[in-house]
């Protein structure tokens, strides 16, 4: 049976459950969101309040393997048998005793505000054990991490003895550790992950995402009360109620557009090509055609031989069997669209339009085998390419309310179909129809911004900008190096702190690697710096939460809510991949982050600032602010910097051109530094000897 929970705890549980329903409906693999590496499968079934030892939520994956969730909005580490943590451990042990190979993970799902010794220390220990597949890794960890594991393992040992009457073996303890995960989701009202869910839902629904989300949470409550089991198929029928065609027949959501096209696509859409074109000089002479001739040609794509007797060549040529070479202006599946195209275009004076229809006499109306096969291939390609709502040509996200349904079919590629921006089709690309996407006004401002890519990247990185929130100073800046690109050293440097912990010197959130000579030089220089600081009556160390390197006095000024952890010793250690994986904070440190592009060039504000945005939901507010201060910003695209190396390359090149990268800049006046975080290269700081507090993250 489940444990009694507070109303807030129940709300947290059902929010997580509702999010898992979204993952199941849209076919998102569990490992894309949670750090369960062997769960790169889609969810097939969700059991709410299951009749299992771990009963809050059970996911069944495509392979039949299962993931169990125990939800705790807040929880503290304890070995008291009456504590919540002890009861969670008991559920995990009870489930493990069943010894089912299909059970791959026991997840303690909580929030980041829970006890740090659980969400950081214990999680690191369990991650390290999974990496090494050995309990001996615990001996090399920090005191707090060892303490966390000792309490967890003591609980497991006591519970196992209580349930079985036997002493648990080291192998059985290892088995439980390998399956136990600590995960956090800040998913409550207004929190960061809830905002990501809204972004995920934009463009997929007939109602506002926030309304749908609240309804889905209510449904999760109902499922939990009734101990329901929900399959992907049954959940789809629920989602279909919100993705069917709207009352306004001219307005369709992205999903409706796909289903509507499937119903309307017929053999005629496959059978005929309609092309607006003009003869090149060679064809003008050979066929005695005037230079101002415009041809509108209807072609059979599959003759009786079921082979095409013409070919398209990128970017704009059509070669016919009779020797004509034609420059394609527009290509479509219907003649009506060609006529619409002609009505919107201005050609030279006295141009002559000649219509050349296909000879339909004696042609059977029954579809040919090649047409049936081609139609099935087009539908399959469209299903594969339209799920992400990215343009099939430029690859960027579609954030407009209207898009083309496009088929790519030429000498280079064929049987490819998907959405395309209105401006993206090449002359030889075959336009099948127009899709009307129901996208919120907020999303319309995110020009070509790839939401799905952002959500995937943001969960694995952006540590730097989250850490900046801890810095309590108006003059904060970010200093970066552009020369630390080699990571082949066999040594690292470890600081021993006065609380017994160890903290490795990191670079961009990961343990830094050095050659032996460089490590010795850094250690020597660091010891000189330590002694120099001591002579001033201060000492060096780290802030307790953000783990920012600082002096004791700097910690009081910049991190007033954090304890200061003094460095008492520093040593060189051999680099260890397993240890590094445990202590690395993120996959990326600066990335992902957003910049603006205008006609392929980076947007530079009139005050010489290159603006970067750490949250897409800040974009409209920032753009409005920049325009208010004289920056005309039109026809821009929002692009994602995906990696740290790309971030350093782009920012360093701009700085060399006297352009200042600035994160989340808000201009207050023309003669004052904007609010936000300016980015400087380390060599700039050293060369100019700036007396500005620098936070080394």
The residue ranges of DSSP E strands in 593-690, in sequence order, are: 593-598, 601-602, 609-613, 636-641, 660-666, 675-681
The answer, yes or no, to whether residue 466 has pLDDT greater than 70, is: no
> How many C-beta neighbours within 10 Å does residue 241 have?
8
pLDDT of residue 244: 42
What is the signed CA dihedral for 636, 642, 644, 647, rounded to 10 degrees?
A: -10
CA angle 111, 112, 118 (to 5 degrees): 95
pLDDT of residue 443: 59
> How many C-beta neighbours within 10 Å does residue 452 have?
17
pLDDT of residue 246: 38
Q: Which of 139, 82, 69 is nearest to 108 (CA)?
A: 69
The answer, yes or no, to whether residue 264 has pLDDT greater than 60, is: no
Q: Which of 347, 328, 353 is nearest to 429 (CA)?
A: 328
The answer, yes or no, to whether residue 317 has pLDDT greater than 60, is: yes
Per-residue pLDDT tens over the stretch 34-84 = 888 778 889 999 999 877 777 789 999 999 999 999 999 999 999 999 999
Q: How far is the C-alpha of 242 from the C-alpha of 262, rounded, in Å?
A: 19
> How many C-beta neighbours within 10 Å does residue 696 have?
10
The answer, yes or no, to whether residue 254 has pLDDT greater than 70, is: no
Q: Are 418 and 382 in contact (CB under 8 A)?
A: yes
Read off the pLDDT band of 467 (50, 70, 90): low
How, if at all, do strands 293-300 and 352-356 pair? parallel
pLDDT of residue 380: 80
pLDDT of residue 106: 95
Among 254-268, 416-430, 650-664, the minimum mean pLDDT is found in 254-268
The answer, yes or no, to whether residue 2 has pLDDT greater than 60, is: no
Q: How far is the C-alpha of 433 from the C-alpha of 603, rounded, in Å?
A: 34
Q: Are 457 and 277 in contact (CB under 8 A)?
A: no
Q: How far is the C-alpha of 164 from the C-alpha of 161, rounded, in Å?
A: 5
The answer, yes or no, to whether residue 268 has pLDDT greater than 70, is: no
The answer, yes or no, to whether residue 696 has pLDDT greater than 70, is: no
pLDDT of residue 489: 84
The residue behind tokens 């519970």 is 159
pLDDT of residue 7: 64
Q: How far is the C-alpha of 456 from the C-alpha of 461, rounded, in Å?
A: 10
Longest dimension (CA), the chain: 101
One-character DSSP codes across 287-301 = TT--TTEEEEEEEES
Tokens of 508: 């961009």
Entry pTM:
0.60
Q: Which of 240, 244, 188, 193 is nearest to 217 (CA)?
A: 188
Per-residue pLDDT tens over the stretch 630-639 = 888 888 888 9
**What is the three-class DSSP state of 644?**
helix
Query: Which of the residue ranges 107-121, 126-140, 156-170 has the most confident prediction, judged by mean pLDDT?
Result: 156-170
**What is the three-class DSSP state of 684?**
helix
What is the helix (H) or strand (E) element at residue 529, kind and residue range? helix 516-535
Per-residue pLDDT tens over the stretch 197-247 = 877 776 677 777 788 888 888 888 888 888 888 888 888 877 877 764 433
The answer, yes or no, to whether residue 473 has pLDDT greater than 60, is: no
Q: State the burial class of residue 551 (Cβ atoms within 10 Å of its Cβ: 0-12, 13-18, 19+).
A: middle
The residue ranges of DSSP E strands in 163-270, in sequence order, are: 180-184, 229-231
pLDDT of residue 564: 93
Give the pLDDT mean for 318-338.
91
**What is the three-class DSSP state of 325?**
strand
pLDDT of residue 327: 95
How, if at all, do strands 593-598 and 601-602 pair? antiparallel
């Amino acid at each position: 049976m489940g444990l009694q929970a507070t109303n807030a705890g129940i709300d947290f549980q059902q929010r997580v459950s509702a999010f898992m329903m979204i993952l199941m409906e849209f076919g998102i693999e569990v490992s894309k969101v949670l750090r369960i590496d062997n769960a790169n499968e889609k969810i097939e079934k969700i059991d709410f309040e299951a009749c299992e030892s771990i009963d809050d939520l059970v996911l069944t994956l495509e392979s039949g393997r299962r993931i169990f969730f125990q939800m705790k909005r807040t929880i503290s580490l304890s070995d008291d048998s009456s504590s919540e943590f002890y009861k969670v451990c008991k559920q995990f042990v009870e489930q493990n005793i069943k010894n089912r190979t299909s059970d791959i993970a026991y997840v303690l799902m909580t929030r980041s505000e829970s006890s740090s010794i659980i969400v950081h220390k214990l999680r690191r220990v369990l991650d390290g054990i999974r990496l090494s597949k050995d309990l001996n890794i615990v001996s090399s960890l920090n005191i707090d991490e060892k303490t966390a594991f000792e309490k967890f393992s003591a609980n497991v040992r006591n519970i196992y003895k209580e349930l079985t009457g036997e002493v648990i073996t080291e192998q059985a303890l290892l088995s439980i550790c390998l399956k136990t995960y600590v995960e956090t989701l800040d998913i409550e009202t207004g929190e960061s992950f809830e905002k990501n869910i809204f972004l995920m839902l934009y463009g997929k629904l007939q109602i506002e995402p926030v309304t749908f989300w609240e309804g889905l949470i209510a449904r999760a409550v109902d499922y939990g009360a009734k101990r329901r089991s929900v399959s992907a198929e049954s959940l789809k029928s629920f989602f279909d109620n919100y993705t069917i065609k709207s009352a306004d027949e001219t307005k369709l959501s992205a999903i409706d557009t796909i289903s509507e096209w499937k119903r309307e696509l017929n053999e005629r859409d496959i059978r005929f090509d309609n092309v607006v074109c003009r003869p090149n000089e060679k064809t003008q002479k050979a066929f005695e055609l005037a230079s101002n001739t415009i041809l509108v040609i209807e072609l059979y794509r599959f003759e009786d031989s079921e082979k095409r007797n013409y070919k398209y060549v990128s970017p704009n040529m059509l070669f016919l069997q009779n020797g004509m070479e034609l420059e394609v202006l527009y290509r479509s599946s219907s003649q009506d669209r060609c006529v619409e195209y002609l009505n919107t275009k201005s050609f030279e004076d006295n141009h002559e339009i000649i219509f050349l229809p296909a000879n339909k006499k004696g042609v059977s109306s029954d579809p040919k085998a090649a047409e049936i096969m081609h139609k099935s291939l087009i539908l399959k390609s469209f299903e594969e390419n339209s799920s992400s709502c990215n343009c099939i040509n430029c690859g960027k996200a579609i954030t407009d309310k209207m898009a083309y349904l496009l088929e790519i079919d030429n000498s280079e590629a064929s049987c490819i179909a998907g959405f395309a921006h209105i401006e993206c089709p090449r002359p030889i690309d075959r336009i099948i129809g127009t899709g009307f996407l129901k996208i919120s006004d907020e999303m319309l401002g995110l020009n070509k911004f790839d939401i799905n890519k952002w959500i995937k990247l943001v969960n694995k990185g952006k540590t730097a900008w989250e850490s900046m929130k801890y810095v309590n100073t108006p003059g904060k800046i970010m200093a970066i190096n552009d020369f630390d690109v080699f990571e082949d050293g066999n040594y690292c440097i470890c600081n021993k702190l006065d609380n017994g912990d160890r903290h490795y010197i990191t670079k961009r959130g990961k343990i830094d690697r050095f050659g032996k000579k460089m490590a010795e030089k850094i250690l020597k220089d660091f010891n000189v710096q330590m002694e120099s600081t001591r002579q001033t009556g201060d000492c060096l160390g780290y802030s307790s939460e953000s783990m920012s390197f600082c002096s004791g006095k700097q910690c009081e000024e910049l991190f007033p809510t954090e304890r200061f952890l003094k460095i008492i010793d520093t040593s060189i250690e051999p680099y260890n991949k397993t240890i590094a994986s445990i202590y690395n904070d993120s996959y990326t440190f600066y990335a992902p982050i957003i910049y603006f592009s205008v006609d392929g060039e980076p947007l530079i504000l009139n005050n010489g600032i290159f603006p970067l945005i750490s949250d897409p939901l800040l974009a409209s507010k920032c753009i409005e602010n920049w325009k208010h201060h004289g920056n005309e910003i039109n026809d821009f695209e929002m692009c994602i910097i995906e990696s740290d190396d790309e971030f350093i390359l782009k920012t360093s090149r701009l700085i060399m051109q006297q352009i200042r990268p600035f994160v989340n800049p808000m201009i207050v006046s023309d003669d004052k530094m904007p609010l936000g975080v300016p980015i400087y290269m380390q060599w700039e700081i050293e060369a100019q000897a700036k007396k500005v507090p620098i936070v080394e993250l």
